[in-house]
Amino acid sequence: MTPRPSGMRGRLPVPQTWRPVGLDAAAIAGVVLFGIALASGRPDVALLGVPALLAAVFSRTRPPSEPLSVAEEPSVPEAAGSIESTIRVTGGEIALVRAAAAGHRQVSFVAAVPAGGERRLRLRLASVRTGLQETAIADVRGHDGIWENDLRSVGGSGRLVLPSSLRLGRVPVPRRLRGLTGLRPSRRFGDGSELRDVHPFAPGDRLKRIDWRTTARRSPNLDTLYVRRSFADAEAVVMLVVDSRDDVGPEVRSWRGFSEQRVDEPTSLDLARHAAASVARALVETGDRVGLVDLGLDARPLPPASGRRHLRRVLHGLALARPVGQPHPTVRPPQLPADALVYLFSTVLDQAAVQLTRTWRSLGHPVILIDTLPDVRPVTEPHLALAWRVVRMERQVRLDELTREGVPIVRWAGPARSDAAAKLDALARAAARQRDWR
């Protein structure tokens, strides 16, 4: 064992991180006041220097026994709208806190710390951004009487913000349904809730399907049994394809990193996450199967499934979607399940979205394009205005080509987002009428 120093016998050394504040000034002030009292013969002046000298003497011998401890609680996924974090502070009497974050104004406040306990400080950042975000950075300095601690900085950790969703009504599904279970009536015979017809009993019909009332009316002697035949219930398979190769905001200057994107304005990827989460929620609530493909990552797609737990996995995958490196000029079309309908969430800033749409349509996959480009603000710089004009014209040419080819396009930004639910409902009703005719 290491021997204790001679001056520390009887107790273990306590590591101190506190330092006195203003003790030299207090000692100098006390000495000056005593000198003035001796020179002028004023004992009342000497009494003014007594507190300063006593503070300088006793502060050297009685430092705070508990060191300052500042920590941030582990992060957990949370919903969009805010980014919250909790700071735990122990030690000292008060804590001077200064919180700051990109895009937010700096806030400073004083918090009391209970003796022998801890103080939990809750910091909340209002933001419409989703995905991987950073919490606020808190600079904490502890005070205990005339003692203060060094500045401690915590926060700035990554927080995964899950996208919110808009409650939609009916959304388009593929014409050909799959599976033996679900909530949608198909066009084939089987166990289901929708009646097709009443037919004489034939080999293979189940006895529980016998309609005794119809049999008694049509065949009183029970020469022929009649059964009720129904359409089989099935489920739709939908793939959500998110084009996360770029993430642009309403400000053109921020497209190449010349300025930071504002926290109160959603970017194209934020709109894509919100739109995909809304469609996924509408489909899961009707018992359909939903899969997810991220074009920005070379990873396996999330296979189609249903249920609340799978919806949580879809939201988690949407929150993790982000640009990786420079956008690729071409994207290899990912393989999709047969008879699946594709929702493509893209800004259509390059030809890749058009090529993917044409490839999937040639393979028999219907495609619905969700336009996620935000409403761009007017550009004042001449060179940026010219560049944006060229990009906008090229983008409009691509959208016109897809429209002529029969691809439905739904705008999910600005005032047009309020009409997106009605347009999806109209597309769903038109698809249902075509499926009934078939």
Threshold 0.95, pTM exceeds? no
According to the model, what pLDDT value does residue 178 have? Answer: 58
CA gap 438, 436 in Å, rounded: 5
Does the pLDDT value for residue 378 go beyond 80?
yes
- Across the range 47-63, mean pLDDT stands at 64
**Which neighbouring-strand residues pair with 79?**
162
By DSSP bridging, strand 94-100 and strand 107-112 are: antiparallel
pLDDT digits (tens, 9 = 90+) for 60-70: 556 666 777 88
Which of 282, 315, 327 is CA-nearest to residue 80? 315
What does the DSSP assignment read for 138-194? Answer: EEEEEEETTEEE--EEEE--EEEEEP-----S-----SS-BSS-SSEEEEEEEEEEE
Q: Which of 12-26, 193-207, 267-281, 285-299 shows the lowest per-residue confidence on average (mean pLDDT)?
A: 12-26
If one compares 16 and 213, the residue with the highest pLDDT of the two is 213
- Across the range 350-367, mean pLDDT stands at 90
Location of structure tokens 């009707």:
286
According to the model, what pLDDT value does residue 342 have? Answer: 93
- CA dihedral (77, 169, 303, 309) positive or negative: positive
CA gap 360, 398 in Å, rounded: 16
What tokens appear for 65 in the block? 């026994």
If one compares 429 and 235, the residue with the highest pLDDT of the two is 429
What tokens appear for 237 in the block? 């398979």
Q: Residue 201 — very low, low, confident or very high, per pLDDT cuts 50/70/90?
A: confident
Q: Which of 63-72, 306-315, 422-431 shows the lowest per-residue confidence on average (mean pLDDT)?
A: 63-72
Q: Residue 184 — very low, low, confident or very high, per pLDDT cuts 50/70/90?
A: low
Q: At what angle do helices 352-362 and 382-404 cross, to 10 degrees?
A: 10
According to the model, what pLDDT value does residue 231 have? Answer: 59
